[in-house]
Copies of this chain bind each other. A is one copy, B any other.
Amino acid sequence: MKTLDIHTTKRIEFIDITSQIERLIHQEKIEDGICVVFCPHTTAAVTINENADPSVVRDINHQLSKLIPEGRGYSHMEGNADSHIKSSLTGSSLNIIVEKKALVLGTWQGIYFCEFDGPRRRMVYVKVK
């Protein structure tokens, strides 16, 4: 298992971690397999979406915050109930197929770390099997 260190700078922010994961996979001995990308935080997540036009992830966050607004009428008292809910809806793990030590992604796909309660120091675990 390898660990990526991530520093987020805003409360809500998507960070493209595709090239960092590709670098880790290149160091592995396994040529072909499955790559698990895991987020060990309960107010963050990981997702795959378009990395060509940055307005796509802006729209995802805008719509998510419309459906799950910050700080109104939740019972969790830390002010980040919205972040926890977004984390479960977006998901904490991804599977990507690996061939010849490279991620098999679609043309427009990038892997994003989804910060829903930053800024914070975060981690992402990566394992190829």
B95 touches A38 (CB 8 A): yes
Known: A55-B75, A76-B59. A47 touches B125 (CB 8 A): no
Any B CB within 8 A of the CB of A12:
no
B58 near A85 with CB under 8 A, answer no
A99, CB-defined interface residue at 8 Å? yes
| Residue among B38, B68, B77 making CB contact with A55, cutoff 8 Å | B77
Interface SS majority for chain A: mixed
Q: How many copies of the chain does the oligomer comprise?
A: 3
Contacts of A90 in B (CB 8 A): 88-89
Q: Given A88-B90, A97-B36, are A49 and B42 neighbors across the interface (CB < 8 Å)? A: yes
Q: Number of A residues whose C-beta is below 8 Å from B?
A: 54
Asked if A59 and B33 make an inter-chain contact with CB atoms under 8 angstroms apart, the answer reads no
Pull 13 A–B residue pairs with CB atoms less than 8 Å apart, ordered by A. A1-B104, A34-B129, A36-B95, A48-B92, A49-B87, A50-B84, A59-B75, A63-B68, A63-B74, A63-B85, A91-B91, A94-B95, A97-B125
Q: Which residues of A contact B (CB under 8 A)?
A: 1, 32-34, 36, 38-42, 47-50, 53, 55-56, 58-60, 62-64, 67-68, 74-78, 81, 84-85, 87-97, 99, 104-109, 125, 127, 129
